[in-house]
DNA sequence: TTTGTAATTTGTAATCATTTTAATATAGGA
DNA sequence: TCCTATATTAAAATGATTACAAATTACAAA
């Protein structure tokens, strides 16, 4: 499972397994997708009342540099984290702010002209759409 | 020209035309594409040594809400502004940080599955690619 | 041209998310 | 169990952005 994988990755990197870190793993892989720092902190603080925001920031940063989660910049006012690192796009409802995953194949082939793909060695992409979801449209 | 257009748009909105604002228009439409707040401020300060950063922020915000420029969130460490509001994608070299425009037709048709387009009323998109440009690859 | 006034600019202070620091606590190997 | 490097915590620092209030200015009407 994902949590065991993260524990192994941290071990391999010579990092220690702490209850705070495990709780962050658990939250990331079992709860609402694309949580914010505050979402994560709120959950962890429920289990470890003395946890520090710094720990949340540090752990997320470590996971990003291990390539195990990604930061989503779809919203200007929040930082969302995505535990799914398979290439995929996102769509956010501008009203209710819900974020949905979009899995399309050949994302970069579809969107990038030949000549750009020749001039760059492509390393990643972030594809965000904005719209009104059906629930929010209905009113 | 673009600058005259902006002056007209500001007038129509009941906003006054000040030298600082005109200088910001000029810089946005004649200089390097996708400038940052600091790029703009550095230029304006060259012409109006007493200009305040606040004025730059305010004017940019006004232009965004008039729909005349857009904010590009391709980089986590800078805010870039784009005076070109036609739908287009961007690619940034992860090394030299240069940002290039990519014009592709039918961006959302290519990237968005049918069912997503049915469930949302699409209002916008931000499509960013990351890679190594040829110049940076060569070394 | 002059004047009046509402809008704008400016400098400063406040805010807020994130990072840094240093002291304390702990994971985990010996 | 003990030792020590690493992690956690609380507090302070940072830095980008925003809010505020006083001084200035655009511009329309006289
Ligand atoms: Mn996702
Ligand atoms: Mn552009
Ligand atoms: Zn919605
Ligand atoms: Zn480059």
Mean pLDDT in residue range A56-69: 97
Q: What percent of chain A has pLDDT over 90?
A: 84
Residue B129 has pLDDT above 90, yes or no: yes
Mean of per-residue pLDDT scores for chain B: 93
**B13 CA: nearest nucleotide by C1':** C7
Q: What is the rounded CA–CA span in Å between residue A90 and residue A84?
A: 12
pLDDT tens digits, residue range B40-74? 999 999 999 999 999 999 999 999 999 999 999 99
Helical residues (DSSP H) of chain A, grouped into ranges: 2-12, 19-30, 37-47, 53-65, 107-111, 114-119, 134-137
Query: Residue A87 has which token pair?
Result: 């290439």
Mean pLDDT in residue range A15-24: 98
pLDDT tens digits, residue range A34-47? 999 999 999 999 99
Question: What pLDDT does residue B139 have?
Answer: 77
CA of B72 to C1' of D24 (A): 34
A106 touches chain B (CB under 8 A): no
Question: What pLDDT does residue A84 have?
Answer: 95
Mean pLDDT in residue range B100-110: 82
Domains assigned to chain A: 2-72 (1.10.10.10), 86-137 (3.30.1490.190)
Q: Which of residues 61-100 of A touch B (CB under 8 A)?
A: 71, 73-74, 76, 89, 91, 93-94, 100
């Amino acid at each position: 499972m994902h949590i065991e994988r993260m524990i192994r990755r941290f071990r391999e990197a010579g990092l220690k397994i702490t209850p705070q870190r495990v709780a962050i793993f658990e939250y990331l892989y079992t709860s609402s997708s694309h949580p914010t720092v505050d979402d994560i902190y709120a959950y962890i603080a429920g289990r470890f009342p003395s946890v520090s925001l710094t720990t949340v920031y540090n752990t997320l940063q470590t996971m990003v540099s291990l390539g195990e989660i990604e930061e989503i910049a779809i919203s200007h006012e929040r930082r969302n984290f995505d535990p799914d690192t398979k290439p995929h796009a996102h769509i956010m409802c501008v009203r209710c702010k819900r974020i949905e995953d979009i899995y399309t194949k050949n994302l970069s082939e579809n969107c990038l002209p030949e000549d750009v793909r020749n001039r760059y060695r492509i390393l990643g992409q972030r594809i965000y759409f904005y719209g009104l979801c059906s629930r929010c449209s209905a009113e």
